[in-house]
Amino acid sequence: MAFMETLLSLISLLSSALLLHAAIEGPKPITLSLIHPFSPHSPFYPGNITDIEKIDILIQGTNIRIHHLFSTMRERNWNGSSEVEDIAATVQYTGLYFVTQVGIGSFSPFPSGKGLPYLLAIDTGSQLTWVQCEGCNPCFPLQQPNFPYNRSQSYKSIPCGDPTCPTPNQNCFQSFCGFMIRSGEDPPASTAGAIIRETLTFPSDFGGTESYHNLFLGCGFQSYHYEFPQPNKIGGILGLGFEGTRTLPFQNQVGKKRFSYCLLNSENTNSQLYIGGAIMEGPQVLSTPLLKGSNEALYYLDLQDISIQNIRLRLQGSFSGGSVIDSGSPVTVLLPNVYAHVRIGFVQYFEQFHIQPYDSGSRPRDLPMLDLCFPNPSGFDRFPTMTFHFRGADLVVHPDGIFALVRNYFCVLLKSGPVTLIGAFQQTQYKFSYDFELGDRRQGEIGALRFVPQDCGSPD
């Protein structure tokens, strides 16, 4: 149950550079391979940092993610138009993103009109795919040139008021179909621009490429308050958030009914994110409904209770507003009253082994930014499981997905916050499938989340 192994499992999902292995229309999915971000080959490689610094990166990433998703504000009458749809997008650099290399546009100097390569952060909390475009003012820092949309042979503009504009009420940016993203606080980051139609191209295992034509793509022209460390390599967002039958999310545009991912357990072994593919089936597969919630781009679950080492905490009715499952948040966040009960549950469990948590007087200076940490007696290995009891399915999180072990202490990787959100650290060693062909629409279900225990470093 080594800390570094579990930490690497998490980061490989959250902070990985995703390189496309294959993009084949039909029954096969788009398959993205994950590369560990702390590898020197990753665009997010932070250099030689300590274990404590790595844990603190997770906590900082979770705080930023919560601000982006749940502190959003709507802009009215910007640029003289009506209210523009507010799309929650995680675009501030934290080193905690999926990215995929995507070819954008068609340019004649390249064979067969190949697109220019850009790294886009994959975000299940965003409904729109967008890239920063040439002519932006102001712009966020980007290591490569901004996308030269006017020189692309496949570029098609969408006029303001055109009935095909996918944003509500045909909102406009100047004379074009427009979008605006506003997220975070103190001050909020924001991007505004035009929605265009373009070609996105992915490399194939077979040496060629696979292209998807005439897709909606946001072209960012005005960006404020981004704090990217240099050199920044993220050019925009690949949106996998939910938006019903509308066509903005990438998986809807390419006609895929599901996507899935699995966290690997080693930095030396690749894992995959799939967009499309067959329904996940088998005797061990569990299923719980995906629900609508207050943030229309996110995926909500009916969390009914939590157990510590099979002891129910009897929290029924405590999860007001629903519970989000999010691959973009490193650490699970619990409402304050829920967190208080879970904290007591862990404290009571370790009391039987005469292990007491650090308080403000005994807390070592070098602990990470976590509330609940304990001294780790030599040879101790009786760590508990934590179970999330969803409607119809129990997600049993093993100790590797709960505790960060560093030298002579361990900490519980949970946070108190304004929402209940199941983060990626608690999703380790499972394969998750978000399936939009399943679910009872009459009951307000938008699909089903299916999951199964899996050694994510092994072949399917």
Angle at 388 between CA 373 and CA 350, to 5 degrees: 30
Nearest CA among 113, 220, 217 for reference residue 157: 217
> Which residues touch 75 (CB under 8 Å, ≥6 apart)?
83, 84, 86, 180, 182, 190
And the tokens for 413? Answer: 């990787």
- Give mean pLDDT, residues 32-45: 57
What pLDDT, on a 0 to 100 scale, did the predictor assign at position 106? 93
pLDDT-derived band at 131, boundaries 50, 70, 90? very high
- Radius of gyration, alpha carbons of the chain: 22
73 has pLDDT over 60: no
142 has pLDDT over 60: yes
pLDDT tens track for 285-294: 999 999 988 8
> Which residues touch 357 (CB under 8 Å, ≥6 apart)?
347, 350, 372, 373, 374
User: Chain centroid to CA 178: how far?
Assistant: 24
| Number of alpha carbons in the 13 Å side-chain half-sphere of residue 376 | 20
Instruction: Tell me the percentage of the chain whose pLDDT exceeds 70.
Output: 73
Higher pLDDT among residues 231 and 217, named by residue: 217
User: Are the beta carbons of 331 and 423 closer than 8 angstroms?
Assistant: yes
What pLDDT, on a 0 to 100 scale, did the predictor assign at position 100? 74
Please tell me what DSSP assigns to residue 64.
H
User: Are the beta carbons of 179 and 166 closer than 8 angstroms?
Assistant: no
> Can you count the helices (H) and strands (E) in the chain?
4, 27
SS3 220: strand
CA pair distance 295, 423, nearest whole angstrom: 16
Higher pLDDT among residues 161 and 35, named by residue: 161
SS3 337: helix
pLDDT-derived band at 260, boundaries 50, 70, 90? confident
User: Counting Cβ atoms within 10 Å, is residue 47 exposed (0-12), middle (13-18) or buried (19+)?
Assistant: exposed
Nearest CA among 57, 59, 60, 90 for reference residue 72: 90
Higher pLDDT among residues 87 and 211, named by residue: 211
CA pair distance 66, 332, nearest whole angstrom: 11
SS3 102: strand
What pLDDT, on a 0 to 100 scale, did the predictor assign at position 295? 83
N-to-C CA span, the chain: 24
SS3 279: coil
CA pair distance 130, 133, nearest whole angstrom: 9
What is the value of pTM for the model shown? 0.79
- Asked if 3-275 and 286-453 have one fold, the answer is yes
Give me the torsion for CA of 416, 422, 423, 429, rounded to 10°.
130
CA pair distance 300, 288, nearest whole angstrom: 10
- Give mean pLDDT, residues 255-259: 85
Higher pLDDT among residues 362 and 184, named by residue: 362
SS3 173: strand
Mean of all residue pLDDT scores within the chain: 78
Query: Residue holding tokens 């490399």?
Result: 203
SS3 343: helix
Please tell me what DSSP assigns to residue 271.
-
Strand partners, 449: 288, 434
What pLDDT, on a 0 to 100 scale, did the predictor assign at position 123? 76
Nearest CA among 162, 190, 178 for reference residue 217: 178
CA pair distance 203, 185, nearest whole angstrom: 37
SS3 453: strand
What pLDDT, on a 0 to 100 scale, did the predictor assign at position 452? 96
What pLDDT, on a 0 to 100 scale, did the predictor assign at position 132? 96
What pLDDT, on a 0 to 100 scale, did the predictor assign at position 89? 23
What pLDDT, on a 0 to 100 scale, did the predictor assign at position 267? 53
pLDDT-derived band at 42, boundaries 50, 70, 90? low
Crossing angle of the two packed helices 3-14 and 51-70, in degrees rounded to 10: 40
The CATH H-level (homologous superfamily) assignment of domain 286-453 is: Acid Proteases (2.40.70.10)
pLDDT tens track for 370-386: 999 999 999 999 999 99
- Give mean pLDDT, residues 417-444: 89
Pick among 2.40.70.10, 3.30.499.10, 1.25.40.10, 3.40.50.300: CATH of 3-275? 2.40.70.10
57 phi and psi angles, rounded to 5 deg: -60, -40
Amino acid at 422: I
Highest mean pLDDT out of 76-85, 211-220, 304-313: 304-313
- Give mean pLDDT, residues 10-29: 39
Q: Which pairing describes strands 303-308 and 311-312: parallel, antiparallel, or unpaired? A: antiparallel
Domain ranges of the chain: 3-275, 286-453
Angle at 364 between CA 363 and CA 367, to 5 degrees: 95
> Which residues touch 313 (CB under 8 Å, ≥6 apart)?
305, 306, 307, 341, 342, 345
User: Are the beta carbons of 75 and 46 closer than 8 angstroms?
Assistant: no
DSSP letter string, 373-407: EEE--TT---PPPEEEEETTEEEEE-GGGTEEEET
What pLDDT, on a 0 to 100 scale, did the predictor assign at position 388? 98
